Amino acid sequence: MPSAVDGAPIPGLFNTGVGEDGKLLPASGAVDPHYTITVSPDEEFTGPDAVTLNPGFPVGPWLGEGPDSKWIVANPASGNSAEGDYTFRTSFDLTGFDSTKATITGLWSVDNSGIDILLNGESLGITNTGGFTSWTDFTIDSGFVDGENVLEFVVNNAPATPNPAGLRVELRGTVEVAGEAPSILKQPESKNIFQGEPATFTVDADGTPPLSYQWFKGDDAMDGETSSELVIDSVTLKDAAEYSVIVTNGEGSTPSDKARLAVVQALAGLFNTGIDDDGQPIENFEVDPHYVLVINPNEESTDSIVADTDIWPIVAGPWLLPSDTSKWISPTPDTNGGPGDYHYRFTFDLTGFDPATAFVAGNWSSDNAATNILINGVATGKGNGGNFGAYVEFLITDGFVEGENTLEFIVNNGGGPTGLRIDDFRGGAVAVSVPTQVVAHPRSATVFDGDDVQLSVVATGIPPITYQWRFGGEAIEGANDDTLTLSAISLDQTGDYDVVITGGQGDATSNAATLTVLSRVPGLFNTGVDDDRQPLEDFEIDPHWELVVNSDSESPDAIVLNHSAWPIIAGPWVRVSETSKWIGVREDANGVPGEYTYRTTFDLTGFDLATVTIRGQWAVDDAGTDITLNGEFLGQANGTGFGNYGSFEILEGFVDGANTLEFTVVNGGDADNPTGLRLENIAAGGTRVDVAPFMIGEANRDASGLTFHWNSRIGTTYSIDFSTDLRDWQELVDGIVATSSSTSHTDTDPTRLALGSLYYRVRAN
């Protein structure tokens, strides 16, 4: 029998085939006082009496009678009944109990099958295909009501002639008495949470519903926090406190224990190996400023040198390849060193933090085995087996002190290459007193006009922390977050941006990030799009790309491939998008083995060639061997293949006027097979030298109205505003697209033109 939950027994709940005293009824047609038959397809035995069986068949093979229940049937003579569905009903009363806390667990056996169990007329979806030789258990934990409840068992008797049909049930039910005061089943738990991360406190309470909740921060009730869960979306230092909740119902109130939230701040000054103060990779052969060789068996030098990433054992060797976040360091540029233990020391500062709450973690790799990590000279016992082709994670949670702390990574060398690599180096602690300081400065960037640009800063300090971004030293209105977003940036936004951070212990100013905004070069298109940059239909000829080398045929046509078939659909190639499509030499994407060169042409007339940049991504099948600019190979191959994009950037080699850009794709194999090219996010920009200053020039008025002209850039959209006092402006017209270097507008509104004074301004969108 399945166990029931704790609680009082449900009164009036009986097994089949027992009397009011719970003892077994006699054989031979005794009427069950607790169960009735409410539906019977047998015209002779229509109910409502449910009776016990005569001795003998079908008990054996049916479960033997007793000791706690008996079979009930419509016909006591062997249970023989007509085919169809029979419904057996029992009832029980939950008056005075909490019906939401009722549970029934049970066993049932049937001949032939149990179609369903219903509670208060609602199907529970419980079936029984186990038959009459064994028990099938079930649980009911919802659907109960105050007062009388009705439980029904629907049993099917199989066709085609009268045959035994019956039901056997054993029940156990529990329920809680109504009027139960709240009790706390699970208390909210204390936790340490990083600044900026979410924190969630929960309480699990019991008691007569409805239950209401009120969360407290310290002794103060929190407005609107009235559920069983308290969520703080982004933790700040001011959220560090004790939290509790009071649970209330009609019977009383119960307070929870207090849970403490400790706010952990990320530790500044933790650097991976081979990274400078700005988090950028250090050049090969330079000295890592953050790691000092305090024990160096190779020589007396304390320098940790960024290893040569162009030679073995990094290139064509077993060591982890360099990345944008870390590089190998070694006592020598070529990584070779004498035998012995090398101690790489890293120093960081916990001033202003509680050292008992500090931790540091990361991934490290070494050649050969790394025998230990020391925290302030004390061994942690954390080693590294010298698997230089993969990382091993480390975590240190104790041994820290106030102020300066040291970590020493001990690497043993048996001779030959030796080195250390640390990545994802991070840590945190609860602040005691934190000066306002910049952890990560905004980074300079070169972008194209119309791009969306984000500059971000990471700072620490005592809250509240506020931010004020500046452009050229002047405050930017409304720019008061740690991230500055510039949407559809324009040429006049080129310049220096910094941010002033104010905290509880003073101000800090970030380094300036220089944004260089370049004018977009017209005439460069992704593959598979029209002049409006909308996707072409499959099988159309791409008007912007031509095949100047075609091993498959003499045709120069670059064809938009069938994007409804393999290898694009259900194949390995990069899927179609709204901004580019695959092009190739045949509609079915196949081509003979050999070389294919795709060319596009663009014009740099009016641009300063020294400032021009082209960026983009390309995918190829099989291999992209090179990119050619104006007939010169750039040495930018694509080994990423057809399932992913490879990035490219071109900074030189441009000429005045028309330029040609070519992508060479080689198709391998011994027979026809898929080949193609896909270009995404291709764009070029540079500084224009032929654009007049943006200003309103000639203006005149005649009988038709007031006409004025301004210097414009072809393709740029402009809006016009007007004002009568140079303070309040209203939009007059927008969406004017320039088609030449000078654009005009005529205002013909007689009411406006009759005003005593009228001013116009033009905005480039």
> Domain segments of the chain: what residues?
8-177, 183-266, 287-426, 437-520, 541-688, 696-764
Under CATH, to which class is 8-177 assigned? mainly beta
Residues in the chain: 765
- The set of residues, in sequence order, having a beta carbon less than 8 Å from that of 366 and lying 6+ positions away, is 384, 386, 388, 409, 411, 419, 420, 421
Q: Which two tokens stand for residue 10?
A: 């449900």
How sure is the predictor about 433, in pLDDT bands with cuts at 50, 70 and 90? low
The pLDDT value recorded for residue 2 is: 37
Residue 1 has pLDDT above 70, yes or no: no
The pLDDT value recorded for residue 5 is: 40
Does residue 290 contact residue 271 with C-beta atoms inside 8 Å?
Answer: yes
> If you average pLDDT over residues 207-235, what whole number do you get?
93
Q: What is the mean pLDDT of the chain?
A: 91
Q: Identify the helix (H) or strand (E) that includes residue 751.
A: helix 750-753
Which of residues 569 and 662 earns the better pLDDT score? 662
CA dist., res. 113 & res. 116, Å (int): 9
> If you average pLDDT over residues 283-293, what whole number do you get?
96
How sure is the predictor about 691, in pLDDT bands with cuts at 50, 70 and 90? low
Please state whether the predicted TM-score (pTM) of the whole model is above 0.85.
no
| CA-closest candidate to residue 273, choices 235, 312, 304, 245 | 304
Does residue 704 contact residue 669 with C-beta atoms inside 8 Å?
Answer: no
- The set of residues, in sequence order, having a beta carbon less than 8 Å from that of 220 and lying 6+ positions away, is none
* DSSP β-bridge partners for residue 364: 392, 422
pLDDT tens-digit readout, 342-372: 999 999 998 878 898 899 999 999 998 898 9
Tell me phi and psi for residue 356, to 5 degrees: -70, -20
> If you average pLDDT over residues 230-247, what whole number do you get?
91
Which of residues 434 and 576 earns the better pLDDT score? 576
> If you average pLDDT over residues 543-567, what whole number do you get?
95
CA dist., res. 664 & res. 682, Å (int): 16
Q: DSSP for 389-425?
A: TS-EEEEE-S---SSEEEEEEEEEESSEE-EEEEEEE
**DSSP code at position 753:** H
> If you average pLDDT over residues 91-102, what whole number do you get?
90
| CA-closest candidate to residue 565, choices 588, 597, 544, 546 | 588
How remote is the C-alpha of 256 from its chain's centroid? 34
CA dist., res. 405 & res. 389, Å (int): 29
**Which of 491-495, 661-665, 688-692, 744-748 has the highest mean predicted lDDT (pLDDT)?**
661-665
Which of residues 463 and 109 earns the better pLDDT score? 109
The verdict on domain 541-688 having CATH code 2.60.120 is yes
Which of residues 317 and 62 earns the better pLDDT score? 62
CA dist., res. 593 & res. 674, Å (int): 9
Residue type for 420, please? Answer: L
Mean pLDDT lowest among 427-436, 575-584, 726-735 = 427-436
- Topology agreement, domain 8-177 and domain 696-764: no
* CATH superfamily for domain 183-266: Immunoglobulins (2.60.40.10)
The pLDDT value recorded for residue 754 is: 87
The pLDDT value recorded for residue 463 is: 62
Burial of 690 (0-12, 13-18, 19+ CB in 10 A): exposed
CATH of the structural domain 437-520, one choice from 3.60.15.10, 3.10.180.10, 2.60.40.10, 3.40.50.2300: 2.60.40.10
Check residue 218 and give left, alpha or beta (phi > 0: left; psi -120 to 50: alpha).
left
| CA-closest candidate to residue 499, choices 532, 455, 537, 557 | 455
> If you average pLDDT over residues 232-251, what whole number do you get?
90
Burial of 176 (0-12, 13-18, 19+ CB in 10 A): buried
- The set of residues, in sequence order, having a beta carbon less than 8 Å from that of 532 and lying 6+ positions away, is none
Domain 696-764, CATH: 2.60.40
How sure is the predictor about 60, in pLDDT bands with cuts at 50, 70 and 90? confident
- The set of residues, in sequence order, having a beta carbon less than 8 Å from that of 207 and lying 6+ positions away, is 180, 181, 182, 183, 247, 249, 251, 254
The pLDDT value recorded for residue 160 is: 77
Alpha helices in 94-188 (DSSP H): none
The pLDDT value recorded for residue 264 is: 87
> If you average pLDDT over residues 161-166, what whole number do you get?
91
Which of residues 625 and 641 earns the better pLDDT score? 625
3-state secondary structure of 355: helix
CA dist., res. 542 & res. 551, Å (int): 18
The verdict on domain 287-426 having CATH code 2.60.120 is yes
The pLDDT value recorded for residue 575 is: 87
CA dist., res. 332 & res. 298, Å (int): 9
The pLDDT value recorded for residue 4 is: 38
